[in-house]
Structure 1
Amino acid sequence: MELRHLRHFVVVAEEGHITRAAERLGMQQPPLSQRIKAIESELGVQLFRRKARGVELTEAGRVFLNRARATLAQHDGAIEATRSAARGEQGRLRVGVMPTALFHPFVPFAIRAFRTAFPMVSLTLDECLSKEALERLRNDQMDVAFMRAPLTEPQSLIVNPLLVEPMVVALPSDHALARRGRGGTLSLKDLAGETFIVYARQLGPAFYEATMAACLKAGFSPRLGQEAPRITSALSLVAVGLGISLVPACMQRMTMDGIAYQRLKGASQPKAVLSLASRRGEPSPVVRNFVSLVRQAARNLHTDPGKSSTIRRSG
């Protein structure tokens, strides 16, 4: 018995009339009558009682109708689920996020937009530094990662630059430069005599390298103080007066007692890059949909910041 035979039976049961069922199915009445008889013969039971003006289900026919409908629904559901998965509407997505990335409003906005557009995708977030993220991407333990570095693209990965933001200086709130620069800006040369707190130098060296390059461009080699494993740890060290630190401007959203943020001016002002990394030749439509949506959001942000709230589902 084939699925199409079950569909024939269901239509006859719904119409209660062989001729009307045949018209609905787009076939002749005699072949449909023969098909119903063949089903009854295969099952060894009577499914319909013949009446002068049609047919009606027997008790066995009503049971068979319920099971036939369930079988057809399961079959149709399996087909739709498969097609949905092929469109990237179902599946899973593992997203890596650098510790500073979530402080930029673009990242949570893009993730929320994807979840709205693809609610059937199971999405998980994993905070990690750049070297950890690259390793997990290569080992298929992560699908995409918001990176905080202008990476040279490894052969196995694609790195999409999304946006660039300035870096600012985090100072102890009672620091003389914090008071002097209040309401204005500082130059990097103003920081030449300060102790710099660096963070994630080994596992996420982007900000350390940006700090060193900017200071050298400004004409001095920075004096390095205690190294912190994460940017939040670095800010804690700044708050207790152990030094200053250069951080992405979005970190100003993180208020902490004892810290003042000041903007920097001049040609040597360091920048913080936000990128999205994914595997080259990625076969997953879920991942491709995410990358496409995030890139579209970044383009909207560059052309008109107001448009970032109107991300549409790709495809």
Structure 2
Amino acid sequence: MPMIELRRLRYLVTVADEGHVTRAAERLGIAQPPLTRQIRLLEAELGVTLFERLPRGVRPTEAGRVVVEAARDVVARAERIKEIATRAARGEQGRLAIGYTSSAAFHPFVTQQIRAFRKARPGVLLELAEDGTPELVKALKDERLDAAFIRSTSTDVAGLAIEPLLEEKMVVALPAGHRLARESKLTLAELAEETFVFYRRPTGPGLYDAIMAACLAAGFSPAVGQEAPRLSSTLSLVASGLGVTLTPASMQRMNVEDVQFVRLKGAKGLVAPLLLATRRRDRSTLVEAFRREAKAAALKTNVAA
């Protein structure tokens, strides 16, 4: 049996609701003869009589009542599909996969943007993933992620659009009880004799290289005693007394016990950038909306600062 036209099912439901072909035609905005013809074609297609002709209208037959209810459900489903498509085109429905580095996860800007996007678009399914910059970049290229908050562009970002959002100050993290922990500010030169805890360069090459360069500019090459797989893990090593580290200021939000944070002075240019990465091609309406709103929020934040 050929597929039944959705248009005829709409006609069927309207005639049943009105109980009169002429009124149904007026409601549908078509002439009465074509509507009658379409109902007859539908009856022929189904092989059943759908309406009893009355002196002043029509009413569904027993078979017609069953078909009308089934048609009503099909029409309602079709309307929902249309609504879903419209909402998706407006960026109000669909799926958006967002990634972020472990350090970006503690930046209030990132959580605020995700929260605001979810609140404005409750019909959008947000999938979140935390990983290192190289892994996030690969996931973007493999189309497993749609956008990612990253800290550097030192990895291969071909095919991606990298847009700067904010720059964050760095602070010194020391074990509680360290001789420098009570200072209000520290210079990099005052850390020259310290053992450093770094996170592995492949995980965050941008910040790693920036810290190394800043230390060299301050007149020393940092002695790296331990390396951690994630920036957040370095604070656990610091808490254990294995060394000191430099970390984005937002990492203080971790509230790691036995770690003291001290502001850094005189290290001009040593900042932790927050960047938004997306694919240059195949951007969906949702990705464009997230990108646009993140950039607008960052601009307001920078102006306020």
What's the TM-score, normalizing by structure 2? Answer: 0.90
Q: 1:12 to 1:106 in 2, by over 3 A?
A: same
Structure 2 residue 113 is the aligned partner of structure 1 residue 107: no
Residue identity opposite 1:141 in structure 2: R
1:272 alignment counterpart: 272
Structure 2 residue 33 is the aligned partner of structure 1 residue 18: no
Q: 1:263 to 1:68 in 2, by over 3 A?
A: same
Residue identity opposite 1:290 in structure 2: F
State the Cα distance separating 1:296 from its structure 2 match. 2.2
How does 1:42-81 map onto structure 2 within 5 Å? Answer: 42-81=45-84
Q: 1:41 to 1:141 in 2, by over 3 A?
A: closer
User: Which deviations, in whole Å up to 9, do the C-alpha atoms of 1:2-49 show, x marking residues without a partner?
Assistant: 322222222111111222222222233333333333333433333222
1:243 alignment counterpart: 243
SS in 1 for 2:180: helix
Q: Distance in 2 between matches of 1:105 and 1:257?
A: 21
Is the contact made by 1:188 and 1:268 (CA closer than 8 Å) also made in structure 2? no
Q: 1:199 to 1:34 in 2, by over 3 A?
A: closer
2:258 alignment counterpart: 258
Q: 1:240 to 1:31 in 2, by over 3 A?
A: closer
Percent of aligned pairs sharing the same letter: 51
Residue identity opposite 2:233 in structure 1: S
Residue identity opposite 2:219 in structure 1: G
1:192 alignment counterpart: 192
Q: Distance in 1 between matches of 2:270 and 2:303?
A: 23
2:143 alignment counterpart: 140
User: Which deviations, in whole Å up to 9, do the C-alpha atoms of 1:178-214 show, x marking residues without a partner?
Assistant: 12x1xx2222222222111111222212222121122
Q: 1:27 to 1:141 in 2, by over 3 A?
A: closer
Q: Distance in 2 between matches of 1:143 and 1:112?
A: 17
2:282 alignment counterpart: 282
2:228 alignment counterpart: 228
Q: Distance in 1 between matches of 2:71 and 2:55?
A: 26
Q: Distance in 1 between matches of 2:55 and 2:87?
A: 46
Q: 1:5 to 1:257 in 2, by over 3 A?
A: closer
Instruction: From 33, 38, 50, give the equivalent of 1:35.
Output: 38
SS in 2 for 1:263: strand
Is the contact made by 1:197 and 1:243 (CA closer than 8 Å) also made in structure 2? yes
Residue identity opposite 1:195 in structure 2: T
Q: Distance in 2 between matches of 1:228 and 1:43?
A: 70
5+ residue gaps in structure 1? 306-315
1:123 alignment counterpart: 126
Structure 2 residue 209 is the aligned partner of structure 1 residue 209: yes
Residue identity opposite 1:287 in structure 2: V
Q: Distance in 1 between matches of 2:32 and 2:135?
A: 68
Residue identity opposite 1:284 in structure 2: S
Is the contact made by 1:218 and 1:268 (CA closer than 8 Å) also made in structure 2? no
Coordinate RMSD, CA, aligned: 2.2
1:97 alignment counterpart: 100
When the two structures are aligned, how many residues end up with a matched partner? 302
Is the contact made by 2:232 and 2:251 (CA closer than 8 Å) also made in structure 1? no
Q: Distance in 1 between matches of 2:76 and 2:247?
A: 56
Q: 1:135 to 1:45 in 2, by over 3 A?
A: closer
Residue identity opposite 2:5 in structure 1: E
Is the contact made by 2:137 and 2:157 (CA closer than 8 Å) also made in structure 1? no
Q: Distance in 2 between matches of 1:226 and 1:26?
A: 77
Is the contact made by 2:134 and 2:155 (CA closer than 8 Å) also made in structure 1? no
User: Which deviations, in whole Å up to 9, do the C-alpha atoms of 1:113-133 show, x marking residues without a partner?
Assistant: 222233333322222111222
SS in 2 for 1:112: helix
Residue identity opposite 1:298 in structure 2: A
Is the contact made by 1:171 and 1:239 (CA closer than 8 Å) also made in structure 2? yes
Deviates more, 1:57-66 or 1:147-156: 147-156
What's the TM-score, normalizing by structure 1? Answer: 0.87
